[in-house]
Structure 1
Amino acid sequence: MKKYAPGVLLSLLISVPSWFLGKAFPVIGGPVFAILIGMTMAPFVKGKDFFRPGVAFASKKVLQYAVILLGFSMNLATVLQKGREALPIILATITTSLVIAYLLSRKLRLPGKTSILIGVGSSICGGSAIAATAPVIDADDSEIAQSISVIFLFNIIAALLFPALGAALGLSNEGFGLFAGTAINDTSSVTAAASAWDGIYGSNTLETATIVKLTRTLAIIPITLFLACYRTGKEKKTSGRSVTIQKVFPSFVLFFLLASIITTAFPIPAGVTGSLKELSKLFIILAMGAIGTNTDLIRLIRTGKKPLFLGFCCWLGISAVSLILQILLGIW
């Protein structure tokens, strides 16, 4: 406790105002505020060695606990039943984003970990997917901060632009719910866009968009397991080290699945699952605050053009595929 307490308390100090700012400005979200505050505070923090163990614990372990708690908001039966119609679109958009991220990372000569985080964050569920993937691929704090920043920018653009775009394209209420749920990265921005649409047209697309978004979130499980297997296989090939079960099957992802199964199998009160979901959000904000204190803001700005272009291409590809498949499936 003595070792970790200072760094965890510093991260908590950042996370509290970030939490309230995220509530006041949900389109931006608490994690982004936490990273920004952390990066702003970083140059003024003296004796960083004193805080380093706790900051490392918050940015790694607390992030994994956040993913586990997220599982308690996932009723698999409800999500799969109501999200079944959107499954072809979800699979197509996830594949599109990952393929674009892979091809462009080679073309732009971007670091592989950054491109993976942007690809996964764009296609699955923004900050939560990045939180789940980062420990699996051993991404450092600057790579996580870069990816979160890219995702945040296109979240805001989508939340503001999509209701007007959907109206211009003549989307039905169901069509816009699918569009928002499959083409917007983060849950807060999906909620913002769908709520704006409902406010304009008096519809109930928020429920559709949220369920589609939760169905996307389930992709965390196979994606992280695949990346774990790929990483361990690559390490064994390059260094000759033995592959461990813990690396191939990250325990926090399995606990995320277990939490989802518990929520599905047992009648847990909505108040309890809602509280656990809020705690998961707080843990993500706390971890992002820790990551912010370890991030060089000047370097982040200097190296930001290529990741931004990659994020834009992933976002554009997902949006186009979502709309095209709606036309082909007759949902529009």
Structure 2
Amino acid sequence: MLLEQAERSFTGAAWVESLVLAILMGTILRTLWKPPAPFESGIHFSAHTLLEAAVALMGAAVSVEMVMKAGPILVLGIVGTVGIAIGTGILLGRAFGLPSKLAVLIACGNAICGNSAIAAVAAAIDADSDEAATAVAFTAVLGILVVLCLPLLAHTLHLTQTAGGVLAGLTVYAVPQVLAAAGPMGATAVQIGTLVKLVRVLMLGPVVAVSSLIYARQLPVCDAKPRSCLSRFLPPFIVIFMGLMTARSLDLVPHVLLAPLRTMSGLLTLVAMAALGLGVDLRNVLAAGPRVVAVVTLSLGVLGDVALLVAGMCCQG
């Protein structure tokens, strides 16, 4: 967090978020020094239990009310874009020989909200630290390039502010990055882009739940207690996530708690990212580099093309 603040002070913007800095710092440390055995239990707890707690608390940050504001055409466009982006991303990942879980993480990160989606899906499918770190690192770098290039693309294509806002909301990872990308296009672009981005984040719950169910079906048949079988198919943190999202939609979560819950989720995610980094040897990540870059780049290209189609349809509507 201090490094992100320093970055903002020197450059005027946090181009590399604290989550990415945490996982990079952990990865570099792990590459230079392997933590002794007594550290392993704490690293594992932080990378898994704390990550699941952070994902569960994310549910309080999203509301179905956002869908009502967007309108049916735009909502269908967002859902379709996310679905196509995930499906295409997984196919590209497998075509380039990436492990199945890494392909899923990259696809979901591109399609929804970058780091947060990768962290949530990684917890749901029990992905390795190497896979989560690789997905976060490479999508973060290319995500920054999207923010920088999007205003120029919108200007070149002579997009209206509404179309530019839709394009930004469908392609950029984080809400602050949407503001940075849509800002040069105008106030309307910022408003539309933020709304589209928030509705897009709503897709995180269903995607995580489906990912968890698919992963659970691939495991050996459960012969333990029924409760343990149920938790394997629908982990408690996903139930809490969906419950908090429902409560927020019904206005049952006191507004005074929203900011603390959001802060707590962010801090837990930050610790979890550092712990994930401590389980990663940078040499293993770099070995997969060219293939990951190719998959992320092509996936972003598909996402951008679909987003342009949706933006055009919404403007016509």
Counterpart of 1:228 in structure 2: which amino acid? S
Aligned twin of 2:306: 321
Separation in structure 2 between the aligned mates of residue 194 and residue 186 of structure 1, nearest angstrom: 12
With 276-285 and 168-177 compared, the bigger mean Cα shift is at: 276-285
Structure 1 residues 43 and 99 mapped into 2: Cα distance closer, same or farther (>3 Å)?
closer
- CA deviations 1:192-246 (Å, max 9, x no partner) are 2123433xxxx2432322221121112122222222222222224xxx4458111
Q: Which of 253, 263, 282 is 1:297 aligned to?
A: 282
Query: How far did 1:39 drift?
Result: 1.6
Contact 1:96-1:314 at 8 Å conserved across structures = no
Separation in structure 2 between the aligned mates of residue 211 and residue 290 of structure 1, nearest angstrom: 32
Contact 1:19-1:285 at 8 Å conserved across structures = no
Separation in structure 1 between the aligned mates of residue 310 and residue 282 of structure 2, nearest angstrom: 40
Separation in structure 2 between the aligned mates of residue 64 and residue 21 of structure 1, nearest angstrom: 29
Structure 1 residues 216 and 43 mapped into 2: Cα distance closer, same or farther (>3 Å)?
same
Q: Which of 171, 175, 199 is 2:159 aligned to?
A: 171
Aligned twin of 2:137: 149
Residue aligned with 2:280, SS:
coil
Separation in structure 2 between the aligned mates of residue 97 and residue 308 of structure 1, nearest angstrom: 16
Contact 1:63-1:287 at 8 Å conserved across structures = yes
Following TM superposition, the consecutive aligned residue runs of length 4 or more in structure 1 with deviations greater than 6 angstroms are none
- Structure 1 residue 81 and structure 2 residue 65: aligned? no
Aligned twin of 1:7: none
Query: How far did 1:29 drift?
Result: 0.9
Residue aligned with 1:223, SS:
helix
Aligned twin of 1:227: 211
Separation in structure 2 between the aligned mates of residue 26 and residue 172 of structure 1, nearest angstrom: 27
Q: Which of 201, 208, 226 is 1:217 aligned to?
A: 201
Separation in structure 2 between the aligned mates of residue 182 and residue 331 of structure 1, nearest angstrom: 17
The TM-score with structure 2 as length reference comes to 0.89
Number of residue pairs matched by the alignment: 309
Residue aligned with 1:316, SS:
helix
Q: Which of 19, 26, 29 is 1:41 aligned to?
A: 29
Q: What percent of counterpart residues are identical?
A: 25
Query: How far did 1:282 drift?
Result: 1.9
The TM-score with structure 1 as length reference comes to 0.85
Counterpart of 1:209 in structure 2: which amino acid? G
- Structure 1 residue 92 and structure 2 residue 80: aligned? yes
Separation in structure 2 between the aligned mates of residue 22 and residue 255 of structure 1, nearest angstrom: 35
With 34-43 and 263-272 compared, the bigger mean Cα shift is at: 263-272
Separation in structure 1 between the aligned mates of residue 15 and residue 178 of structure 2, nearest angstrom: 9
Please tell me the root mean square deviation across aligned C-alpha atoms, in Å: 2.2
Query: How far did 1:269 drift?
Result: 5.8
Unaligned runs of 5+ in 2: none
Query: How far did 1:74 drift?
Result: 1.5
Counterpart of 2:309 in structure 1: which amino acid? I
Unaligned runs of 5+ in 1: 1-15
Contact 1:184-1:190 at 8 Å conserved across structures = yes
Structure 1 residues 44 and 297 mapped into 2: Cα distance closer, same or farther (>3 Å)?
closer
Matches within 5 A, 1:253-264: 253-264=238-249
Contact 1:145-1:291 at 8 Å conserved across structures = yes
Counterpart of 1:82 in structure 2: which amino acid? K
